[in-house]
Chains A and B, each alone.
Chain A
Amino acid sequence: MNPNEHAQPPEPSPYREEILTPQRVRLRRDQFRRLCLLVDGQREFTDVRAAAAFPMSSRANFVGFLGERGREVALIRDPERLDRESRALLEEEIARVYFTPRITHIYRIDETFGASRWEVETDRGFTIFEVADREQIRTLADGRILIQDVDGTRFEIPDPGALDLASQAMLDSET
């Protein structure tokens, strides 16, 4: 049997009305590497997906756990107060879901007719990506720059002013 199959859809989670404190929940991975959420030591939800409520503004302050068909089973606040093991698991999961390399240096930007090709150094290593148009390069209200490449991968420049001057000059002609 495929472990993902359920004969009967589960009833809605009883925790949908409240915001849980991190002390009430524990996370673990089962033998199939699925993320499982245990609430109050009683009720366990298998194969949940973590989703940040404000992924752009403050990455992990509110974290929801989505169960089957994307329905939220629980919402917690301040996940940094989770127990160590759960926190490590959540951080690992959030890092996957919101994988966003931070650009630390720009080697070159080649622009032809609106599309640009970027060669950059990021906190994840060197990479090359392409941007379909300048609308995909957004400056947020707090000054951060978010870039989405042609395949949908996101990149971030947390503080453009902190980049070296050569990188800043190249960046300026794109924003």
Chain B
Amino acid sequence: MSGEITSKRASEVQHAQGDSDGLPGDVRPWLEGLLRPDERVEASLCADLLADGRYGERWAFLTNNRLLVVAPMDGSGPKVELDLPTAQITGCRVRDFVSSGALDVTTSERGLEAIRFTRAFRAEAATMCFALEQVARENTASNNGEAVPVRQAPPRFDNSAGRCPKCGRALPRWSETCLNCLQKGKLVVRLFSYIYPYRWLAALGLTCTLALTGLRLVPTYLTKYLIDDVIGANDLNRLFIVIVSLIAVAVGTAAIGSIRTYVMQWVGNRLMYDLRTQVFDHLQVLTLSYYNRHQTGHIMARVTSDIVRLQNFIAEGLQDIIVNVVTMVLICGLLFWLDPRLALIAMGPIPAIVIGAYWFGRRVHRVYHKIWRRMSLISAVLADTIPGIRVVKSFAQERRESRRFEARSADLFHQELRATRLSSLFFPSMGFLTSFGSMLVLGLGGYLVLTQPDGPLTLGSLVAFLGYLMQFYQPVTTLGEINHRLQHAATSAERVFEVLDATPEVPEAPGAIRLPSIKGDVEFRDVRFGYEPGRYALDGISFRVQPGEMIGLVGPSGAGKSTLVHLICRFYDVDSGQILIDGHDIRDLSLRSLREQIGVVLQEPFLFHGTITANIAYAKPNASPEEVVAAARAANAHDFIMALSDGYDTVIGERGQTLSGGERQRVSIARAILRNPRILILDEATASVDTETEVQIQRAIERLVENRTTFAIAHRLSTLRKAHRLIVLEQGKLVEIGPHDELIRSGGLYSRLCHMQSELSKIRAW
């Protein structure tokens, strides 16, 4: 059962990170037996695979002089499988496979696989690898007689993707929050804190609700009075009183009902408004890494549907629950007051109803989920074939598509039948149970009324009893749903609150410096950064850029060019190393003052819905018309804007659909010009336009880059001919840096890329 041990171990290790060495208690005793007196553990790794691929627990320990891999045997004590002096280590790497990975260590003579693990242990393995690499670097440095590099704290890799950060359990994909750690009580309290400002209105709504519940019980009681004391006593006056009372109750119900609805909807909507605003404000503060982790659709759903669901819960769900519970308690009391013997009988079917409703809810949920999956399979076929109908027809595959569709359709049909069988069994049984209860009551009650005319049970009481019984069973069936509804509301609340609780991951330092105007001196010092544990998108980048210099960033896709400019904007923080602007670490600068000085032109310019003027003046809303026109002229955008019938007042669609790619690009350049930044970032600004437009954009860019520190990413190297220096990246490493001519002469990667592109442009020139 070693797999179980490791599974538990994994979460234990993840949770023990706060400890001094992160080791579970039962490891320490045998580990201490293995260590020499002066030895201490610097890094450890618990993994779950044996060398032959079976499950089993293995530990790797990096001490100050050895790398140990140990099999923790039960009973017979630990077995050391690898004992390697750290002085021999020259390299280390994590090999990532489809479902698993391995940590390989090399010495000057050999290489060996130290430990294997499944993907759950990837982050820990990456941390171990980081520690081993440092050892290797130290060894290399001391062998070459160089200074030993300073040790860095290993980066803490995030292993929590898909798991609850608190309990380590898998998160259901739809919820994004851990339902096991969900503290419903706390959430409700927190939700009530939003109601608090409107507590008097909410109290009014609740009072109305209770009054209505009471009023609904009156007519049934009046029936009893009517039968026993009016018709039985032949009293016309009393009949008049009964009718007036009934009318009064009806009027009261209608009036109080409409007040209640309005008040509760007001509170619900107001709450929704408060939450929506708060969530949106907070979303603007959150960092890009939050947006990377969550799908755009899911984030939008939190602002819209989750909040609507909360509103529904406050305005309706909560009331339903209160009304049902209060009704049940009141009627239950009335039934026992009317006749305890009959009441006991009436309670008979209740356990069966509650259990049945609960059982049905669970079963039907599973079946509906199956149906839902089959529906999405059908939609998938539709989404394939309808837009792709030309392909289907041109390859004459209509029949095959029909068969594919029919198979899935039949599958759905069978699942639908399953659901139907379930509900066709359930609802009639529930109906039978309730009417069985009523029949029992009617039987015994009728017997009592007939045989004991002077007994406590009158005809009117029996009729009232049966009336209340009907009102009673209905809320009972909804009892099973209460938990489900609470759960859903709590989930929505959790999701909304989770956004509010998320903290920006590039925190502003407490005494952040505001730089009024920077010169534009940018320096990278041994910068390492990765989006995923152990995979560096940038690995040991160092360079320095003079103010006003234009730097071209070159390299194959995935080399780390965009990552590099993201780091300058501080969308992410470096894992190790430093980025300095005018000699200040950018983590010490206030985010606002940093980004105010940076202008970005993206490959796919994003234009907001609004006028062209509003888009150009996005970063400077109070810009004068002269400034806007000047910026548009500098960006070569003025002419095409004037040609539009609405000129600068032209409204452009959600993504600027009415403009061509080149036009949108020039609007975004005008936006950057108007901002007048000290550092300019051009991310493939001319990637997707024709040659003539490229020339126009090129000219606009040339005006823009003057006297600004510029980082330009480009696939077309011709775009970079004005660059003072080029930085060539490959697989996250800086491979070349220097002016164009120098790099061409050195005959490295850049010269090969240039050569390839001039070949290509010959083809294009044909």
Contacts and interface: CB of A to CB of B under 8 A. Distances in A.
Contacts of B120: 151, 153
A126 B1 contact: yes
A30 to B, nearest CB: 8
Contact of A99 (B100, B136, B140, B163): B100
Interface in B163-191: 163, 169-175, 179-180
Most chain B beta-carbon contacts within 10 A, residue among A1, A96, A112: A96
Given A33-B113, A127-B3, A134-B373, A100 B99 contact: yes
A124 interface: yes
Contacts of B140: 1-2
A88 to B, nearest CB: 13
Interface string B80-119: 0000000000110101011110101010011111001011
B600 to A, nearest CB: 29
Interface in B356-384: 366, 369, 373
B173 A135 contact: yes
Most chain A beta-carbon contacts within 10 A, residue among B93, B163, B173: B173
Given A126-B1, A134-B373, A113 B172 contact: yes
B54 A2 contact: no
A130 B55 contact: no
Nearest to B376: A135
Contacts of B3: 125-128
Contacts of B21: none
Nearest to B137: A2
Nearest to B100: A99
Contacts of A101: 55
A15 interface: no
Contact of B98 (A97, A119, A124, A133): A97
A41 interface: no
Contacts of B104: 33
A80 to B, nearest CB: 20
Interface in A123-145: 124-135
Main secondary structure of the interface of A (DSSP, over half): loop
Interface string A80-100: 000000000000000111111
B560 to A, nearest CB: 13
Contacts of A151: 118-120, 122, 162
Given A113-B172, A130-B170, A151-B122, A32 B106 contact: yes
B749 interface: yes
B4 interface: yes
Contacts of A113: 172, 175, 179, 487
Contact of B2 (A34, A122, A125): A125
Given A132-B162, A133-B172, A173-B366, A124 B100 contact: no
Contacts of B175: 113-114
Interface in B224-244: none
A59 to B, nearest CB: 12
Nearest to A124: B54
A39 B232 CA distance: 110
A33 B749 contact: no
A55 B4 CA distance: 29
B397 interface: no
Contact of B119 (A32, A34, A124, A153): A153
A132 B173 contact: yes
B7 A4 contact: no
A38 interface: no
B106 A3 contact: yes
Most chain A beta-carbon contacts within 10 A, residue among B100, B102, B116, B169: B100
Interface string A27-59: 000111110000000000000000000010000
A130 B140 CA distance: 42
Contacts of B179: 112-113
Interface in B514-531: none
B170 A2 contact: no
A69 B327 CA distance: 71
B431 interface: no
B97 A97 contact: yes
Contacts of B119: 151-153
Contacts of A116: 170
A98 B140 CA distance: 34
Contact of A150 (B91, B102, B162, B366): B162
A150 B7 CA distance: 13
B173 A99 contact: no
Most chain B beta-carbon contacts within 10 A, residue among A125, A134, A154: A125
Contacts of A124: 49, 53-55
Contacts of B106: 3, 32-33
B99 A99 contact: yes
A90 to B, nearest CB: 14
A98 B96 CA distance: 11
A30 B110 CA distance: 8
B428 to A, nearest CB: 25
A126 B110 contact: no
A134 B163 CA distance: 16
B93 A4 contact: yes
Given A9-B749, A126-B55, A151-B120, A117 B113 contact: no
B173 A33 contact: no
B102 A130 contact: no
Contact of B170 (A4, A98, A126, A132): A132
A153 B91 CA distance: 27
B437 interface: no
B100 A153 contact: yes
A115 interface: yes
A105 B499 CA distance: 41
Contact of A125 (B56, B113, B180): B56
Contacts of A133: 172-174
B731 interface: yes
Nearest to B48: A127
Contacts of A69: 556, 731
Interface in B41-99: 49, 53-56, 90-91, 93, 95, 97-99
Nearest to A119: B4
A52 to B, nearest CB: 10
Interface string A135-168: 1000000000000011111100000000000000
Interface in A100-118: 100-101, 112-117
28 contacts: A1-B140, A2-B140, A31-B110, A32-B106, A33-B106, A34-B111, A96-B100, A99-B49, A99-B97, A100-B99, A112-B179, A115-B172, A115-B173, A124-B53, A124-B54, A126-B4, A126-B55, A127-B7, A128-B4, A130-B170, A131-B170, A132-B162, A132-B173, A133-B174, A134-B369, A135-B173, A150-B163, A153-B120
Given A3-B91, A33-B104, A153-B100, 9 more contacts: A31-B110, A32-B106, A96-B100, A97-B98, A99-B97, A124-B49, A134-B373, A151-B119, A173-B366
